[in-house]
Amino acid sequence: MLSEQTRTIIKATVPVLEKQGTQITKCFYGHMLTEHEELLNIFNRTNQKIGAQPTALATTVLAAAKHIDNLAALLPHVEQIGHKHRALQILPEHYPIVGKYLLIAIKEVLGDVATPEIITAWGEAYQEIADVFISVEAKMYKEAAWPGWKQFEVVGKDKVAEDIYEFTVKPTGDSGVDLAKLPIIPGQYITVNSHPVRQDNKYDALRHYSICSADTTNGLKFAVKLQTSTNNPDGLVSEFLHKDVKVGDVLKLSAPAGDFAVNKDLINQNDIPLVLLSSGVGVTPIVSMLEAQVKENPSRPIVWIQSAYNEPHVAFKNHVDNLLKQAKDAKKVVVLTDSQPRIDDKFLKENVPAHADVYICGSLNFMQSMIDHFQVLEHKNDMIHYEPFGPKMSTVKV
């Protein structure tokens, strides 16, 4: 339990964190990843480069400072981050390393403002926050479908859009994983641990990919969009999976993770419509939700909104059409951004019922714009659920 004096000091740093938080976290990552190069086998270098990860960490630190009197208020954020940590196999022994370099960064960026009292207070606060994360993640590790990384054979590789492949994988015989007993929640993701021999890469590269279907009868399915790149890590893993991986190859996966899921209490009722809104490869977890809803209760009203660059980029088109045919009350809207205006609040007002339960997935920019549009429409916050392809905390306002 933190002392009153420590909590007072932490709260007094909130204005500084609001102004210089991202500068602190960029400094933090710079020092830590330089002096602990082995951590580059875990951290996504693309998110570092575009600033999403430093922004996400800065938001997390600011949220902790604002809620230092009641860290329990952070639990939803802790759990969301915890799923990512468990999927990446971040362990308790990593937390002291993070704490060390966070304090170094605070001292370096703030200079004389970072008095010994402030550094001591943040050291104590960090340990308290780390203990919360470690406790939450310990439960997730215990409940995971399998421990660590397991080998899966690629048994299918199918093109579902101009730039998207759907991979079907099955556990190898010595993995100990039984697909028949594998609990999949529509909306979850798996994590691929690869070591692409591209772009002079020296490190393992870990990436999260959404699961396409909760039905594992023929294997576990996930989709990957090709991110083209030139001498940067943006497309490192997607290029490897699209161009190098073939049927019969073996990939290492960690167990399904994530808290993006349809509200179970609403699946079997028909008064509150389900709205599924996606952009690009963000359709992947959304189509698994559609599949589950239609299977469980095809009578619930459904609004399907899918944004893509053009017709060849509309992923899972035939599969989605077949699923929507099974629904008794379904509306489908496809927005092709090469020839139509992008989705805005006017479009959402016309197509999304005011009392609907909404699920959104897409790029960080798409997610932020959708969140902003729904705020303009004053749609109830607890009826808006989203999963960006990138650190979610970078889209959160605290």
Task: Give per-residue pLDDT as tens, 58-111.
Answer: 889 999 999 999 989 889 889 999 999 999 999 999 999 999 999 999 999 999
Residues labelled catalytic: 95, 137
Model pTM? 0.92
SS3 content of the chain, % helix, strand, coil (to 5): 50, 20, 30
Distance CA 357, CA 334 (A): 19
Q: Which residues contact 385 (CB under 8 A, 6 or more apart)?
A: 260, 263, 357, 358, 359, 360
Q: Which residues contact 293 (CB under 8 A, 6 or more apart)?
A: 262, 267, 274, 300, 302, 327
Predicted pLDDT at 209: 96
- Count the residues in the chain: 398
Which one of 3.30.300.340, 3.40.50.80, 1.10.10.10, 3.40.630.30 gives the CATH number of domain 262-393?
Answer: 3.40.50.80
Name which CATH class applies to 147-255: mainly beta
Predicted pLDDT at 379: 95
Parse the chain into domains and list their residue ranges.
2-141, 147-255, 262-393
Q: Which residues contact 263 (CB under 8 A, 6 or more apart)?
A: 357, 385
Distance CA 385, CA 371 (A): 10
Distance CA 170, CA 252 (A): 11
Q: Which residues contact 249 (CB under 8 A, 6 or more apart)?
A: 153, 154
Please give the sequence-ordered ranges of beta strands (E in DSSP) within the chain, or none if there are none. 150-161, 164-171, 189-194, 205-210, 220-225, 250-257, 274-279, 302-308, 330-336, 357-362, 384-388
Predicted pLDDT at 391: 67
Predicted pLDDT at 116: 95
CATH number at 2-141: 1.10.490.10
Predicted pLDDT at 394: 65
Q: Are 302 and 327 in contact (CB under 8 A)?
A: yes
Q: Per residue in 227-269, pLDDT tens?
A: 875 545 568 899 999 999 999 999 999 999 999 999 999 999 9
- Cβ burial of 56 (10 Å; 0-12, 13-18, 19+) is buried
Strand order in the sheet with 205-210: 205-210, 189-194, 250-257, 150-161, 164-171, 220-225
Mean pLDDT, consecutive 10-residue segments, the chain of 398 residues? 94 94 93 93 72 82 92 90 95 96 95 94 95 96 96 98 97 93 93 87 92 94 84 75 96 96 97 97 97 98 98 97 98 97 96 97 91 94 86 67
Q: Are 351 and 305 in contact (CB under 8 A)?
A: yes
Tokens of 279: 């952009």
227 closest CA partner among 45, 40, 1, 12: 45
Predicted pLDDT at 87: 96
